[in-house]
Amino acid sequence: MPWWVWVAFNAAVLAILAIDLGIFHRHAREVSLREAVGWTITWVTLALCFNVGIYFALGTQKALEFLTGYLIEQALSVDNIFVFVLIFSYFSVPQRYQHRILFWGILGALVLRGTMIGAGTFLIHRFEWILYVFGAFLVFTGVRMAFANEAGIEVEANPVVRLVRRLLPVTKRYYGQHFVVSAPIGQRRRWIATPLLVVLIMVETTDVIFAVDSIPAIFSITTDPFIVYTSNVCAILGLRSLYFLLAGIVDKFRFLQLGLSVVLVFVGAKMLVAPWWHVPIGASLGVVAGVLAIAIGASLLFPEEVEEHSPVVHDPLDPPPGKSADVLDRVQTLERDEPPG
């Protein structure tokens, strides 16, 4: 694609995000179910309109590749949503701040995924055999996902969170929609991280982990960097509204994880057998859509009682012993006497 098409697409994405945060969500507030439905329909409609544009500009093949990649990414996003629910529950994030966290998390995800897609495209064009590595990895990931149990959130195991907590003390309460605040400690003021920053870091690092699965999955459909990038971005843009739409019922899709594992195994196997057997893009789209429809339908027809998570007795913001604990003690004293400015 010409360079100006890339520039125009990214400029349009940034303009949409600026309007979203600057006008519709300028102030922190809860997102209602009705609003989530409206925004979900809006994002899906915009993605499909863009797909129509690809059809007229690049033809049927590229349009089907975009649609298949978009569908795969949207399906894998449900796993992100489930983990986001666990993170927000673990840190007791007020609902009015969740949209802002997801906004900045998705903005960071666009940069990180764009970098990963660029690196993947370079590797594929330089070392074509890397496609077989991607295929084997997807098959392995799909099989592992089929037998994986629900995992908890291990804050202390996240190296980025540990680094931030070494550099900045973390308060135990939220200060509006601020990620960091300043407070007087001793003879000078210091920057102090709020729990929102820790949650944002958890969201960002979790998305990188999921991108390791989803980006190779789209490369199994097409190696065109423009199609891979745009389908990924269009799916990510709708992730926030999809979260508020499905957060309360995502645990009802008991067979969706199994369906996603089948999809990953299918696209991984498709990459491995490509030199000997070419699977048409239309067939790939039919398999992916059919598997996901069966998984969702079976989940609705055969629901399962979901056990409640045991209450969290460990304070996720308790610092490790050492100097940071002493600093946090002084911060907590300041919280009682004078809130940070």
DSSP codes, 31-78: PPHHHHHHHHHHHHHHHHHHHHHHHHHH-HHHHHHHHHHHHHHHHHHH
Residues 10 and 12: their CA atoms lie apart, in Å, by 5
Q: What is the pLDDT of residue 333?
A: 43
Q: Does some domain include residue 160?
A: no
* Look-up of token digits 């098409």: 5
Element of type H or E holding 286: helix 281-301
Number of domains comprising the chain:
1
Q: How many CA atoms does the CB half-sphere of 74 hold within 13 Å?
A: 23
What is the chain's mean pLDDT, rounded? 79
The answer as to whether 239 is a domain residue is: yes
Residue 145's CB is within 10 A of a number of other CB atoms, namely 18
pLDDT in tens, the chain (341 residues): 788 999 999 999 888 888 877 676 666 667 777 888 888 898 999 999 999 999 999 999 999 999 999 998 888 877 778 788 888 888 888 888 888 888 888 888 888 888 888 888 888 888 888 888 888 988 888 888 877 765 566 666 677 777 777 777 877 788 888 888 887 766 677 788 888 888 888 888 888 777 887 888 888 888 899 999 999 999 888 888 888 888 767 777 878 888 888 888 988 898 888 778 888 888 888 888 898 899 888 888 887 664 554 444 444 444 444 444 444 444 444 444 444 54
**What angle do the packed helices 281-301 and 256-272 form, to 10 degrees?**
160
Alpha carbon distance 258, 148 (integer Å): 10
- Is 180 a member of any domain? no
229 inside domain: yes
276 within a domain of the structure (yes/no): yes
pLDDT of residue 336: 45
Q: Is residue 184 part of a domain?
A: no
Distance CA 184, CA 337 (A): 11
For 259-317, the pLDDT digits (tens) are: 888 888 988 898 888 778 888 888 888 888 898 899 888 888 887 664 554 444 444 44
Stated length of the chain: 341
Domain membership of residue 297 as a residue range:
18-150+205-304
In a domain, 155, yes or no: no
- What is the structure's pLDDT at 86? 81
Q: Could you tell me if 83 and 209 are in contact, meaning their C-beta atoms sit under 8 angstroms apart? A: no
> And the tokens for 225?
């960097």
Which 3 state secondary structure label does DSSP give 189? strand
316 within some domain: no
Residue listed under structure tokens 């940071």: 324
Tell me how far apart the alpha carbons of residues 93 and 87 are, in angstroms, rounded to a whole number. 8
What is the C-alpha separation between 228 and 218, in angstroms, rounded? 6
pLDDT tens for 239-265 read: 888 888 887 677 778 788 888 888 889
